[in-house]
Amino acid sequence: MTRYIIQRLLAAIPVLLGVSITVFIILHLVPGDIAYALAGPNATQEELAEVRRVWGLDQPIYLQYFTWLTRALRGDLGRSALQHDPVFTMIMDRFPNTFLLAIASLSISSIVGIFAGVISATRQYSLWDRLMMLLALFGNSMPSFWLGLVLIMIFALWLRVFPSGGMTDVRGAGGLLDLLHHLILPAVTLGTVSMAIVARLVRSTMLEVLRQDYIRTAKAKGLVDRVVVYRHALRNALLPVITVIGLQTGFLMGGAIIVETIFSWPGLGQMMYRAISSRDTPVVMGGVLLLATVFVFVNLVVDICYAFLDPRIKYSN
């Protein structure tokens, strides 16, 4: 297993290099010169040239990339052209906030999704099944920017039970309860799509497992339904679900862009949205590198989870 993990980690290096090269090239292929934005509206050609020189934009693209890479390997991801802070510091400041939001969303989507899927599968074609799948279809279809605004309108404006945005009450004393109070709406908005995907997948895999002989045997032996469903069926049904939840983790980290922007949540997504729209290359590069690392890591964790969930899966040479 250890050797497998090391191999996977080594395999991540070319993946991350490939991602960084691709993003760097895309950022430079897009038309538009950031020097104009950096120099300001009154800049002359000489001043534009000076700005390009100061920011290293006058170098050939491969040299710019090489400079970025050598610095990145030393932990220096450069400085934001807009915020003027070191990119590494910016990421470290915001990563915990996005991680918290992603974990909260993942928890909501996994728990509610699995529960809804089990209910649907065990009561196939019942009213509950139809209701759950209707909600799942709704959740899967609603764009997060729309859902977020609707939730804000209902819960922040009409019912006034949740705040409209931010991480804490700027007038209040803060604290854990205040944080949780601010976390619920963005977490639900972000987690809704994943919740719907998980619910539908759990339902279909559960239905498949529930028809298998060993389940019939378990029932024939007189085991109560709850034990059959949760101990024997769900565990086997979860394998493909784990894969999807793993993929959703990456999605939630990256997909937080819209939700964080709507809810003024000071996370990586909000930072990336601004960086992309302003062509803040160092921040985009740093952010994408982090997201790619998260994807690689989560996939590794998912593969390791398989071994624990299904004893038949072994990682060896």
Partner 1 sequence: MGYKPTIVDLLRLNREDTSRREFLKMVALVGGALVAPGVLEIACTPAQAPTSGGAPGAMTPKKGGVLVYGAEAEINPLYSDYGLTWSNGRVSRHIFEPLMESDILSSADVSPTVGVLAEKWTESPDAKVTTWTLRKGVKFHDGAPFNAEAVKYNIEREFDKSHPFYHAKAWGSQRQRFGFIDKVEVVDEYTVRMTQKQPYVNFVLLMRGYGVTSPEAIKKYGNDELHRYPLGTGPFKLEEFKAGDRVVMVKNKDYWGKEPWLDKIIFRPMGEPAVRVVSLKSGDIDFSVNLPPDTYADFGKDARFDVIQKAYGHVWFVRFNSKNPPFNDRRVRIAATMAVNKDALIRDILKNTGVKAIAPFGPGTDAYDPDLKEIYPYNPTKAKELLRDAGFPNGFETTVYFPPSGSGMMAGQPMVEFIQRNLAEVGIRVKMVPQEWNTYVQKYYEGLTPDVGLTNMSHGTDSGTNVSRLYHTRQQPPNGPNPGWYSNAEVDRVLDQADQEPDFEKRRSLWKQANRLIAEDAADIYVAHDTLPRVMNRKIHDYVAPAQGSFVFFNAWLDQ
Within 82-121, the residues that bind partner 1 by CB under 8 A are 82-85, 89-90, 93-94, 96-97, 99-100
CB 314 within 8 A of CB 52: no
Give the 3-state secondary structure of residue 79. strand
Q: How far is the CB of 46 from partner 1 (least distance, A)?
A: 9
| Residue of 90, 67, 68 whose CA lies nearest to 80 | 90
- The answer to whether 236 contacts partner 1 (rule: CB under 8 A) is no
Rule CB under 8 A: choose which of 31, 75, 222, 311 binds partner 1.
31
Alpha carbon distances (Å) from 66 to 63, 114, 165, 267: 5, 46, 40, 28
Long-range contact set of residues 26-34: C-beta below 8 Å, sequence gap at least 24: 27/279, 27/281, 27/284, 27/285, 28/61, 28/64, 30/279, 32/279, 33/57, 34/81, 34/278, 34/279, 34/280, 34/281
- Distance CA(292)–CA(254), nearest Å, equals 9
By beta-carbon proximity to partner 1, the closer residue of 150 and 309 is: 150
Among 19, 20, 55, 202, binds partner 1 (CB under 8 A): 55
Q: Please list the alpha-helical segments (H only) found in 157-280.
A: 176-210, 213-220, 225-227, 234-262, 268-278
Binding window for partner 1 (CB under 8 A); candidates: 2-10, 109-117, 153-161, 190-198: 153-161
Q: Which stretch binds partner 1 (CB under 8 A): 116-124, 191-199, 266-274, 303-311?
A: 266-274
CB of 180 to partner 1, least distance (A): 10
From the list 193-201, 208-216, 269-277, 307-315, the region that binds partner 1 by CB under 8 A is: 269-277
Region binding partner 1 by CB under 8 A among candidate stretches 37-45, 59-67, 189-197, 201-209: 37-45
Site residues for partner 1 per CB under 8 A: 30-34, 36-45, 47-48, 50-51, 54-55, 79, 82-85, 89-90, 93-94, 96-97, 99-100, 149, 152-153, 156-157, 160, 163-176, 178-179, 261-264, 266-267, 270-271, 274, 277-279
